[in-house]
């Protein structure tokens, strides 16, 4: 097998363990050296000269293998935890299909005569740089597109914006509001998550749609899943405006989304499963974070001769 010029081939000499080298290349010590690599335009390149000049600690081979074995074992625990999370995600997908069938084909014949806009209230959000005409404003948290992921919110960094009291009252998010992104990469159309009042008072930008249920026929968790399902993605891809790899939907298209309406008790049964599995996932993610911290500490000690 051959490789092109963008791939550097490292052939080990005697006295260097491949697993030890791999772990070192993934360590902060190696990454700190690699940060000095050349940047061309938006591409970061590590030249062969820079690669050859990386300074690697080199204990005796037996010690390298011992260190690599410890790091391999710790990394295997992390891999198992990630696999557990993936299995929980697969369980939810399987449960959705078992209860509701293929949402595109609708083999169970669920009511599909209602449009999203007749069952919910949909609004866009506040635009940055809008003219306020000298009105009194105050600073409030402000969700951007980056905060809204697929069935979860990323709230480690939340920006703020100055808004009027009328804007805050109009756009303030309430529990179980569904947040959907306006566009981005075509495969991310229909990306959205439910709001659970993680921040006491929060509004959203104009590139996010807020979908608030007004009908007693829909469970919010089911709504999030049906819009994010192939039924939603296919609809948005057909309807979206697409330019140079970017796709976007507008309010009219979102309101015209053809819903599926299984009986509410069945939706609620699925929602209960989702909530139970999400609690398990939360515990698994917390454990994974602990394992990540442990692995980083082991790496730090390993390549300083302290392990």
In CATH, 111-260 is 3.30.360.10: no
Contact 174, 149 (CB under 8 A): no
pLDDT at position 304 is 84
CA separation, residue 91 to residues 79, 108, 176, 187, 272 (Å): 18, 20, 23, 22, 13
Q: For the chain, which residues make up each domain, given as ranges? A: 111-260
| Overall pTM surpassing 0.85 (yes/no) | no
Of residues 284 and 200, the one with the higher pLDDT is: 284
Question: Which of 110-124, 182-196, 242-256 has the highest mean predicted lDDT (pLDDT)?
Answer: 110-124
Choice between 40 and 260, residue whose per-residue pLDDT is larger: 260
The residue among 24 and 80 whose pLDDT is bigger is 80
Residue 11 has pLDDT above 70, yes or no: no
Residue 196 has a CB neighbour count (10 Å cut-off) of 12
pLDDT of residue 89: 95
**Dist. CA 289–CA 67, nearest whole Å:** 22
Whether residue 4 has pLDDT greater than 70: no
Location of structure tokens 């929602």: 271
Looking at residue 28, its pLDDT comes to 82
What is the tens place of the pLDDT at every residue in 141-158? Answer: 999 999 999 999 999 999
pLDDT above 80 (res 14): no
Predicted local distance difference test score (pLDDT) of residue 37: 60
pLDDT of res. 41: 53
pLDDT-derived band of residue 5, with 50, 70 and 90 as boundaries? Answer: low
Integer Cα distance of 113 and 26 in angstroms:
53
Higher pLDDT, 290 or 302: 290
Give the 3-state secondary structure of residue 107: coil
Joined tokens for residue 288: 């994974």
Percent of the chain's residues with pLDDT above 70: 91
The mean of the pLDDT values for the chain is 89
**Statement: residue 219 has pLDDT above 90:** yes
> Following CA atoms 82, 86, 91, 96 in sequence, which dihedral angle do they give, to the nearest 10 degrees?
140
Task: Determine the pLDDT at residue 10.
Answer: 65
The pLDDT assigned to 30 comes to 78
Query: What local confidence, expressed as pLDDT, does residue 214 receive?
Result: 97
Q: What is the pLDDT of residue 182?
A: 87
CA dist., res. 124 & res. 211, Å (int): 9
Nearest alpha carbon to residue 118 among 257, 283, 236? 257
For CA atoms 180, 182, 184, 190, the dihedral sign is positive
Between the alpha carbon of residue 248 and those of residues 60, 180, 197, 225, the distances in Å are 57, 11, 27, 20
**Half-sphere exposure of residue 236: CA atoms within 13 angstroms, side-chain side:** 30
Q: Note the pLDDT tens digit of each residue in 223-240.
A: 999 999 999 999 998 888
Q: Where are the beta strands (DSSP E) in 127-261?
A: 138-143, 159-163, 178-181, 183-184, 192-194, 203-204, 208-213, 241-243, 246-248
Torsion of CA 89, 90, 95, 96, to 10 degrees: 70
* pLDDT tier for residue 305 given thresholds of 50, 70 and 90: confident
pLDDT, mean of residues 165-183: 93
Look at residue 292 and tell me whether its pLDDT is greater than 90. yes
Instruction: Identify which of 292, 299, 266, 291 has the alpha carbon closest to the alpha carbon of residue 98.
Output: 266
Residue 86 has what pLDDT? 95
pLDDT digit string, tens, across residues 36-69: 665 555 556 666 676 777 788 888 999 989 999 9
Q: Which of 15, 109, 127, 93 is nearest to 61 (CA)?
A: 15
Q: Are 46 and 34 within 8 A, CB to CB?
A: yes
Per-residue pLDDT, averaged over 177-192, amounts to 84
């Amino acid at each position: 097998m051959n490789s092109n010029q963008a791939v550097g081939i490292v052939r080990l000499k005697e006295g260097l363990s491949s697993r030890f080298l791999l772990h070192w290349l993934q360590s902060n010590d190696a990454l700190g050296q690699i940060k000095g690599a050349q940047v061309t335009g938006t591409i970061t390149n590590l030249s062969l000269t820079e690669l050859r000049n990386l300074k690697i600690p080199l204990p005796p081979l037996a010690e390298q293998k011992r260190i690599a074995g410890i790091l391999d074992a710790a990394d295997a625990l992390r891999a198992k935890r990630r696999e557990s999370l993936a299995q929980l995600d697969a369980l939810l997908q399987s449960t959705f299909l078992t209860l509701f069938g293929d949402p595109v084909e609708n083999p169970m014949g669920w009511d599909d005569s209602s449009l999203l806009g007749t069952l919910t209230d949909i609004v866009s959000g506040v635009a940055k740089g809008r003219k306020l005409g000298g009105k009194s404003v105050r600073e409030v948290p402000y969700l951007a597109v980056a905060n809204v992921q697929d069935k979860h919110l990323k709230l480690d960094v939340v920006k703020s914006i100055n808004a009027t009291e009328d804007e805050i009252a109009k756009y303030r998010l309430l529990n179980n509001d569904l947040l959907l992104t306006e566009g981005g990469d075509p495969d991310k159309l229909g990306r959205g998550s439910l709001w659970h009042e993680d921040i006491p008072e929060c509004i959203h930008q104009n590139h996010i749609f807020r979908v608030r249920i007004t009908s007693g026929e829909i469970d919010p968790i089911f709504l999030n899943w049906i819009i994010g399902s192939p039924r939603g993605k296919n609809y948005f891809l057909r309807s979206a405006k697409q330019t140079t790899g970017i796709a976007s939907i507008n309010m009219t298209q979102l309101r015209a989304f053809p819903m599926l309406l299984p009986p509410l008790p069945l939706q609620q049964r699925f929602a209960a499963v989702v909530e139970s599995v999400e609690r398990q996932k939360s515990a698994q993610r917390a454990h994974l974070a602990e394992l990540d911290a442990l692995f980083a500490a082991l790496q730090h000690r390993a390549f300083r001769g302290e392990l």
